[in-house]
Structure formats: structure tokens, C-alpha cells
Amino acid sequence: MKAMIVVPAFLAALIAGCGGGESSGEMEGMDMEVAPATGGMTAEEHARMLAGAAGADDTSGRVVVELTADQARAIGVAFATVRRGPLARAVRTVGQVVPAEPNLTDVTVKIDGFVERLYVDATGRAVRRGEPLLSLYSPMLVAAQEELLTALRLAAAVDTADPDAARRAGSLVTAARRRLEFWDIPREEIDRLERSGEVTKTLTIPAPADGVVLEKMVVAGQAVMPGMQLYRLGNLSTVWIEGAVFEQDLALVRVGAPVRAELAAYPGRSFEGRVSFVWPTVDPESRTARVRVAFANPRGLLRPGMYASLYLEVMIGRDVLSVPAEAVVMTGERNLVFVVGPAGGLEPREVLLGARGGREIEVLDGLSEGTRIVAAANFLVDAESRLATGAGMASMPGMDMGAERKRP
């Protein structure tokens, strides 16, 4: 009694019913071709062909698949060529606009006092360097001015014939003047005091830099102490957008890489920046690392607090082998690509994969440049390769591929 040969029913049906089907002949980044139409083959002839190819098994338990051009076209098989060249991918994340830390300035004082007048009395005001922010009445400042004037009068009255007395008087003047300088009293104010001899009741605090008042922590009449923060100014001509990148993409992000940002406030418009810093730690819960991108903001369109979508164009390699991602059959244990053999058969070949770039994926080992491979309908080809050995149906209930059926 002859052993039965089982033809995959779903594939036979596809071949029989879709003989005139069309398939796209090209995928992005790859030159692909659909098998040209030639003569057909019956299901019985196809079964005999598979039975004859059963000896060409590879280590993955699959066999070489022989298809005519019509059969390949009917099930949508398309081919591509392994290419060598640059491979890039886009990493997308969401970030938030924040002020650039080097452009932040805190306004503080080094003496006790009371706020007598606020010249800048609201958050959000733009200020220029040197512009008055507030005036401060300080008894300590009044006392220090009186000490300088007293030292100046003593130095003027000392007998110049006594060098020791003149030196001591000069030291008192220097110490009183230095005390005011250490409190950040402007030099021109000290010179005015020495010329006029008039003590000022208040001290005017100027803006130390250009910027916008991001925070205001003081009101008129408030008592202040040394080191107390009164204002926070931020120069927004440059801002940062901070986002999070998943761990698997972290190795691709480099400082200096170009980044494109899109914001809901400006539809149809994008902003160009560059990665300025990648955090050295990964969040253990989200498995992400923070990335900082610097953007020039001369018109102030990027405002702190805005959300933005970040698109990082990262280069995987400039000279790598790659294939369409759809060409790879991932079994869970190995990655397979069907290669067009010298005789036209579709041979399963195990490959070692690298990083994925868009619709293409890097091949580290297993293929060479110029090799023709199956780039579409490869899962049907893989099913044909497995079912031809009986591996796919032997495990189904009631199916014993090695046993003979008894005739009635």
C-alpha cells in the first residue's frame, strides 16, 4: 500500500482560485519584483514535487519550496535583493518645553531690609539688564554708609606727619568701602556717597540680566533677609524640550543628533533642534531615559509648559546589509529568510538581525549583498515549507502522517 502525500489545502486553494492575482512589486527602500507568469501546475504535480523535495530539509525543520512563476504570483510572492548602504530610523517621543537652565537668574540680596517699592510687580514681565526691580530700605546699609563717611573724615583729619596714623586711617576707609562692595552696592553709588557725603536711605536692586520674570516671591513692605530669593528671571532666546526615550532606542541617540519638533499650537510647522544631553540613568519603572534637546527661540514661540512631539532621525549605520522587515519570518527560536537558490527553489536560511530602521532591518550574518530573497507572502512560503514535511499537520488531532489508511 502506498503512503499518502498530503498537499496543504489552503495553499492549493489559493493557487487554484487566485491564478490571476496581482502583487505589488516594490517595497520602500527595496527593489522588488513579482514572479512573472508562465505555465501552470496541477495540485497532483505540486504534491509530487513536494514529495521529491522532502530530502532537502534544513536545520529548522523546513524544506526547499519549488513554485512556478504562476503559483508564486497567485499567492502574492514578491522578491527583493539584499542591499548594502545607509540605514536610519525615526525615534518619536513626547516632550515639554522648559527654560534653559544656564539662562536662569535668581535675584537675591545680601543685607537685611524692607521692600519700600516694587518697580517690577508682576510675573511675566520682560526686563532688561540694569532695569530697576525694587528699592530696599536697610538700616544695615545706612550704618555702613555712615561708617565710610566717618572713616573718610578721620583720614582727612589725621596728621600726615604720622605715617602709622595715616596708614590706619586709610585701612579704615578701605575696609568700609569693601564692606559695601561685598554687599553688591554698585561702584557708582559708592563714589557718589564719597563725593556728596549724603547717606541714601534705600538701595535700588537692578535686573542682573535680560529675561522674563518667571517667578516673583516678594511684595511691597515685605521684610527680606540675606539670601532670600526675590525674583527668578529666564532668558527664553534658547529653550529646552525634554522627552523620554525607550531603553531599546537609547543606544541610537547621540549628542548633536538633529531633532524635529511639532507643537499643537503651530499646526503644519516644525522647529529644528539638536540633542544636547542624554541622562546617564534609566527610569526603572518606565524603562526610559530622559533626553534634552536645545532649540533657538528668537521670537519666543516656544513657551515653557508647551508639549511637543519630538522626531529624532538616528543613523543605524552608513554601510550595513538590510532587507525588508516583512521578508523575515520570526519563529520565536530563530529568524528565517527564504533565499532564491541557484535552481530557483526557495531555501530557508537562518539570519542574525540587528537594529530595525523603518521598513527595513539590519542583517548581521547569514546573507550577502545582492542575494535575491522572498520579500512578500513569505509566511505562506514558510507554511508550505513546513507542511511539506508533515511537521505542521502531524500534531493535529486525528492526523497521523506516517500511518497507512485502511481501505474499507
pLDDT at 40 over 60: no
Q: What is the pLDDT of residues 289-302, one digit of tens each?
A: 999 999 999 999 99
Average pLDDT score over the chain: 80
Strand partners, 278: 291
State which of 125-129, 151-155, 375-379 shows the largest mean pLDDT. 125-129
Residue 73 belongs to domain with CATH number: 2.40.420.20
Task: Determine the structural domain holding residue 375 and report its residue range.
Answer: 9-87+318-387
pLDDT at 7 over 60: no
Co-location of 115 and 200 in the same domain: yes
Q: DSSP letters along 276-304, please?
A: EEE-SS--TTT-EEEEEEEEE-TT--S-T
In a domain, 249, yes or no: no
Q: Which of 139-148, 192-201, 397-406 has the lowest mean pLDDT?
A: 397-406
Average pLDDT over residues 19-26: 41
- Residue 205's contacts (CB-CB under 8 Å, 6 or more residues apart) are 107, 109, 132, 133, 134, 135, 136, 230
Residue 230 belongs to domain with CATH number: 2.40.50.100
Residue scoring higher pLDDT (194 or 53): 194
Q: How high is the pLDDT of residue 223?
A: 95
pLDDT at 400 over 50: no
In a domain, 176, yes or no: yes
In which element (H, E) is residue 70 found?
helix 69-74
Tell me which of 183, 218, 234 is where a domain ends. Answer: 234
